[in-house]
Amino acid sequence: MARYILRRILQMIPTIFGVIVITFILFNLVGGSPGAMTLGHHVSPRLLEEFDEVRGFNKPLLMGLWSGTRAFEDADFSRSASPWQGKKGVQRQAVDTRSGWAVSFAPDESHLIPLRFPLHPETRFRWSFRYRLSEGAHAWIFPADADELDKDAEPWREGTPFPAAPDWRQWRTMIDTSAQPDQQQWMLYVTGGTLEIDIVRLQRRANHWFDSQFVHYLDQIRRFDLGYSSQTDQPIGQMIRAGIIPSLTLTVPIFAIGLVLAICISLVCAFFRDTWLDRFFVVLSVALMSINYLVWIIVGQYVLAFQWGWFPVWGYESMAYLLLPILIGVVSGLGTDVRFYRTVMLDEMYKEYVRTAFAKGVSRKGVLFKHVLKNALITVVTNVVIAIPFLYTGSLLLESFFGIPGLGYLGINAINSSDVDVIRAIVLIGSVLYVVANLFTDICYAWVDPRVKLT
Amino acid sequence: MNKAASPLIEVQDLQVHFGSPAQPVRAVDGVSFQIAPGETIALVGESGCGKSVTAMALARLVPEPPARYVGGQILYQGRDVLQQDEDALRAIRGNEISYIFQDPGSSLNPVFRIGYQIAEAIELHRSDVPTRQEVLDLLRWVGMPDPARAARAYPHELSGGMQQRAMIAMALACHPRLLVADEPTTALDVTIQAQMLALLTRLQAELGMAILLITHNLGLVAGIAERMHVMYAGQFVEAGPTEAVLRAPRHPYTRGLLHAVPRLEGTRERLTGIDGMVPHPARLPGGCRFHPRCPMCQTRCEVEAPSAAEVDDTRWSRCHFWSEVPPP
Amino acid sequence: MSATTATAPQSGHSLWQEARRRLRRNRLAMACLWIIGIYTALALYGEGVYRWHQWRDVTPSYQRTDLDKQYLQPSYLRAPFAREQMDWATGETYTVSGWQRWGAGWTRLAQHPLGTDGLGRDVFQRLVQGTRIAYQVGIITSLIAIPLGVLLGCLAGYFGGRTDDFIVWLYSTFAAIPGLLFILAIAMVVGQGLLGVYLGIGLTMWVGLCRLIRGEVIKHRDRPYVAAARALGLSHVRIIFRHILPNVFHVVIVTFTLRFPAAIGTEVFLSFLGIGVQGEPSWGIMISNARLRLWHGVWWEMAFVTAAIFFIVLAFNLLGDALRDALDPRLRTEGEGDHE
């Protein structure tokens, strides 16, 4: 038994890792910038950069040293000369490069490289250029790190010169903001010809090869640090802890009442199978499950609470406020449950041991409530255990409609305000609970079914 | 046609239908037979011919719905089983008429211990709860090795033979007067089959009960049954003393069944069997129900359904040309 | 046993013929097919209307606001049927109720038969557009989920070993993530609009199908006909897709029928939250609008959307049940079978 549980726990690890990977892919990779998703697309790049800095989103994805920065967006010259758009002496022209476009810089002028905001201090950055210089031309970028000085070129003030090149060349220079904390301007200076730039890129250096978003994420999870909500600036762990109790006060009664009702009705169906009563319940359950969940809530709230005034309309102050949401939750889920448990019961009714029991002289009641029910309980128990994690996520709609400050309410708010970290935390915890519940399901299964041995 | 002594159970023109009344599926269509106390009779036929439904109907055990008992009578000790209420039926089931089924593995309830299931069978027909010793004695009686362990075991923990012994113990717990054995050995190994047969014969002798044996195994029939009924498509096609029927069948179907059994002695002829399949009860052919598969089929067979023709005073056959059926 | 032998399929009838015969006898299932057919026709009509307006580059009538026609009740309840008339003999006026004035009644009956909403837009036309979007979502999500589930399920079931381990790991990972939140997260990350809805539903729907297909394929993998095909030297691809797949394809059909309404429900939910369709009259958006108006006593928009969703979901659910019973009754406790 202990060995089985140990083995199952080991088997849980890949699944939990898979969940981590999927949430990572979903929120860090697919969505583009989580900052933009949360704060909106019209926020200043500086705010976004700060958002990313706090949450580690400006690191490389999996591993590596270099990642982009919003201070200087990678320029796409095929569309415009950005970020030099409209600057004097800068021209965009068609050339024979990948994008087909480059910008050329007029000679004997210094051209400011426009940064959107001062670079983060104590971080190292790197400029990369793909460029060419016309015959006899010289170009410098200044100021820049002296280490990278090309020895052959003539220095101009403290700038770093481009080595002369008629063909397309790569050139990089490192800059260290800790060395020049107040230096936030970079200039290009060209003499004796034109400088053409095909690609220009500013990259940020990570602390080490594995200083990546993924490792940062794993590290957060290891520390059980769920981060801060971007909406309320509260720690997410605290928000979730506060939301669990209201969620459970809603979902546990719904689940328990729904389960007992569904099993009772399904037993009635099994007892009176193929009679009008059974058919009535079948039709009723299909009809119940075909009514949209939203409609249950909206009409229930409008008619029962607002028009007839039987229940409070909105809030979370006393037990009375929970009654209507619980009622709606039970009724809307009843159809599916009755159908399921009725099938379970009827499947058992057609098993051969039922025939044996009847042949022994057991009454209909005895067969149903002793022989069949005990067998059906195997399915019921496993089904109940596996449903437990879903109690935790609460009911998204019921909570937000009735103003119950649980996790469902939290979730809906987070989705409405694109609060990525909150969603990610709820999804992550829900998944882990599900995996754990799966283990408990198997243990319960062995516990209620004598045929199953845990080995 | 049969013994005049008052029969234990008498089935008259039993009709059990499935499906809608508009399009009935005639699973059992006019079956009549009797079983005398202490007698062993056999019902023989291919799967799907209605023999299991007939057997289950004796204690009104075919679930309704979907089944409907449309006609006929089942007189158990002079009273019609089909007319009795649920309580009276329960008093008969397991007490007067007991059943053992083909697959003991699935016929025993998987979540109750063997001992409990046997005790339940006793308790249902007695006012008091049986002692543990009674259950153990029963298990020992049916030849269960280590009865104490078996009583504590769940069905899946026993072998097939042990499971069937437990089923027999359960069926015979109340000393029934009729045991209906529905393919009791089919799911078992050949060596176990012989043990079961010996066990049943012994218990029958001790209790003096009648046995209705449902099988498609003619060897088994030859071994223990005194009389046999051959069933095809919901009807009996031939009935008579086992030995006479097996030696000289008077219906081509019986003969076909015999030919499907390999034999050791005699010439090494080819096993012929019977072509085709049992027709679906919803789509029975007209005329004689066997005519599409019958090697002796003639025009008359396609249009006219044969009635039971007496061969001699102990046996009859439902064939127009019974006298022409060649020996096997 | 008796019941099963009594309804055992006759030789010469394939599983599909038998199923079709059983289905055709099932009057309820045929009624459901009719309902689905009507909805499909409406969806196609809606698509036509949508395309035509797009091609003409005009505001479609279901989007045109007309503040004079705000909150019109369904046509047969509307006041214009009743009109005051003067009795020429006495000079008194009296009211003629609607149904006595046939001539005018019929033409008016066709105007806004289901009433209008708060911006004077025709509820019926918007419902038709909602049907179009619901179908779009149901079909496209199935197109994502079915190939994915079938392919992975076949591969896992047929090859076993490492492939199986990987695919089982993959789907148990997806299954572990709370479904609705996962869909919401995908839709949120991908961005507002239908693409997020498609991906969200599609990427969660394949899991159940994959598990079922894998189980079925494992059952068939060791059957003699597969061994025979292997002995003939057929390629794995051919064995999987030509020999095994047709035998397990009924699982796909049943799953499709039962998941279609679920996809519609989820779409309604997402659109209601404002994550799904933008600027088109989806059922979810209609509910969202009608919800506010309900508090002012405008009941018909809500009532008709509810009815529209109810009947299509009901039809699919009942048809799915009938199909399942006709094709494979063992699928009835689908999803719980993984313990066995």
pLDDT, tens only, C168-182 = 999 989 988 888 888
DSSP bridge partners of A125: A175, A204
Question: Is 0.90 exceeded by the ipTM?
Answer: no
Question: What residue segments make up the domains of chain C, in order of their start?
Answer: 14-73+118-331, 75-111
Q: What is the dihedral of CA B231, B235, B238, B242, to 10 degrees?
A: 40
Q: Judging by DSSP bridges, how do beta strands B178-182 and B97-100 pair with one another?
A: parallel
User: By a Cβ cutoff of 8 Å, what residues of chain C touch chain B?
Assistant: 1-3, 5-8, 10-11
Q: What is the mean pLDDT of residues B9-36?
A: 82
| Percent of chain C residues topping a pLDDT of 90 | 22
C11: chain B residues, CB-CB within 8 Å: 277
pLDDT of residue A74: 67
Supply the pLDDT for residue A330: 92
What does each C-alpha distance from C135 to C36, C140, C291 come to in angstroms? 11, 8, 23
- Asked if B106 and A371 come within 8 Å (Cβ–Cβ), the reply is no
Strand bridging mode B178-182 / A160-162: unpaired
In this predicted structure, which of A141-145, A240-244, A343-347, C227-231 has the lowest mean pLDDT?
A141-145
Contact A356 B66 (CB under 8 A): no
Greater confidence (C178 vs C150) lies with C150
pLDDT digits (tens, 9 = 90+) for A393-428: 768 888 888 888 888 888 888 888 878 888 888 888
Q: Which fold has domain A75-205?
A: Jelly Rolls (2.60.120)
> Which chains touch C (3+ CB pairs under 8 A)?
A, B
The whole-chain average pLDDT of chain C stands at 80
Q: Is C180 on the interface with A (CB under 8 A)?
A: yes
Question: Per the structure block, which two tokens stand in for A410?
Answer: 């939290």
Q: Which residues 6+ apart lie within 8 Å of A388 measured at CB?
A: A433, A437, A440
Task: Measure B131 CA to nearest chain C CA, in Å.
Answer: 34
Q: How many Cβ atoms sit within 10 Å of the Cβ of residue B4? A: 7
* Topology classification of domain A236-448: MetI-like fold (1.10.3720)
pLDDT at A78 over 90: no
Judge whether A360 is closer than 8 Å to chain B, CB to CB: yes
Q: Is A435 on the interface with C (CB under 8 A)?
A: yes
Q: Are C23 and C326 in contact (CB under 8 A)?
A: yes
CA distances from B10 to A111, B7, B77 (A): 114, 6, 8
Cα Dmax for chain A: 110
Identity of residue A328: I
Instruction: A154-157: list long-range contacts, CB under 8 Å, 24+ apart.
Output: A156/A189
Task: Choose the closest CB to C10 out of B52, B63, B280.
Answer: B280
> What is the homologous superfamily of the domain C14-73+118-331 according to CATH?
MetI-like (1.10.3720.10)
Residue among A294, A306, A438 whose CB faces C287 most closely: A294
Rounded to a whole number of angstroms, the distance from the CA of B127 to the nearest CA of chain C is 33
State how far the alpha carbon of A24 is from the alpha carbons of A18, A140, A214, A219, A427, in Å: 10, 41, 7, 13, 11
Please indicate whether, in this complex, the C-beta atoms of C2 and B25 are within 8 angstroms of each other. no
The span from the CA of A74 to the CA of A52, in Å, is 17
pTM of the model: 0.78
Please give the pLDDT value at position B267. Answer: 55
Residue A47 has pLDDT above 70, yes or no: yes
Q: How close is the nearest chain B Cα to the Cα of C276, in Å? A: 48
What is the 3 state secondary structure string of B191-216?
HHHHHHHHHHHHHHHHHCCEEEEEEC
| Most B-contacting residue of C4, C5, C10 (CB-CB within 10 A), to test interface | C5
With bands split at pLDDT 50, 70 and 90, how would you rate the model's confidence at C12? very low
Q: Is the pLDDT of residue B279 over 80?
A: no
Q: Does A306 touch chain C (CB under 8 A)?
A: yes
Reported for B144-151, long-range contacts at CB under 8 A and 24+ positions apart, including other chains, are B144/B169, B150/B114, B150/B115, B151/B113, B151/B114, B151/B115, B151/B118
Least confident of A45-59, A346-360, C64-78: C64-78
Please tell me if residue A387 touches chain C, with a CB cutoff of 8 Å: no
Give the pLDDT band of residue C136 (cuts 50, 70, 90): very high
For residue B34, the Cα-to-chain-centroid distance in whole angstroms is: 13
Q: Residue C3 and residue B18: Cβ atoms within 8 Å? A: yes
C317 to A278, A329, B326, C28, C33: CA distances (angstroms): 18, 21, 59, 11, 11
Using CA atoms, how far residue C200 sits from B58, C48, C179, C267, C335, in Å, is: 58, 27, 9, 10, 20
Sequence letter at residue A278: D
The residue that leads in pLDDT, A205 or C303, is: C303
Chain A residues within 8 A of B179 when measuring between CB atoms: none
Q: In the structure, what pLDDT confidence band is assigned to residue C86 with cuts at 50, 70 and 90? A: low
Nearest beta carbon to residue C5 from set B19, B48, B66: B48
**pLDDT on residue A156:** 38
The DSSP 8-state label assigned to residue A109 in this structure reads: E
- To the nearest whole percent, how much of chain B has pLDDT over 70? 94
Residue C174 in contact with partner chain A when CB distance is under 8 A = yes
User: Looking at residues B286-304, what average pLDDT do you find?
Assistant: 79
pLDDT value for C45: 93
What integer is the mean pLDDT of C24-33? 86
Contact C177, C184 (CB under 8 A): no
Write down the pLDDT at residue C147.
93
Residues in chain B: 328
Closest to A102 in 3D by CA, of A84, A115, A125, A128:
A84
Using a CB–CB cut-off of 8 Å, the residues of B that contact C are 18-19, 25, 27, 47-48, 52-53, 56, 62-63, 66-67, 277, 280-283
List CB contacts (< 8 A) between B65 and chain A: 274
Which residue in the block uniquely carries the two structure tokens 């038969």? C113
Mean pLDDT check: name the lowest of A3-17, A429-443, B45-59.
Answer: B45-59
Query: If you average pLDDT over residues A94-108, what whole number do you get?
Result: 77
Q: Which residues of B touch A362 (CB under 8 A)?
A: 90, 120, 124
Residue that is written with structure tokens 């064995």 in the block: C239
The residue extents of the domains of chain A are 75-205, 236-448
Q: List chains adjacent to chain A, taking adjacency as at least 3 C-beta pairs closer than 8 Å.
A: B, C
Instruction: Give the full edge-to-edge strand order of the sheet including B235-241.
Output: B97-100, B178-182, B210-215, B40-44, B227-232, B235-241, B315-317, B309-312
Q: Crossing angle for the helix pair C283-294 and C123-159, nearest 10 degrees?
A: 130
Among C190, C294, C333, beta carbon nearest to A30: C190
Would you call A384 helix, strand, or coil by DSSP? helix
Candidates C185, C269, C332; nearest CB to A26: C185
pLDDT tier for residue C57 given thresholds of 50, 70 and 90: confident
pLDDT of A270 reads: 85
A347 in reach of chain C (CB within 8 A): yes
Burial class (CB in 10 A: 0-12, 13-18, 19+), C209: buried
Q: Indicate whether A35 pLDDT > 50.
A: yes
Helix or strand or coil: residue A219?
Answer: helix
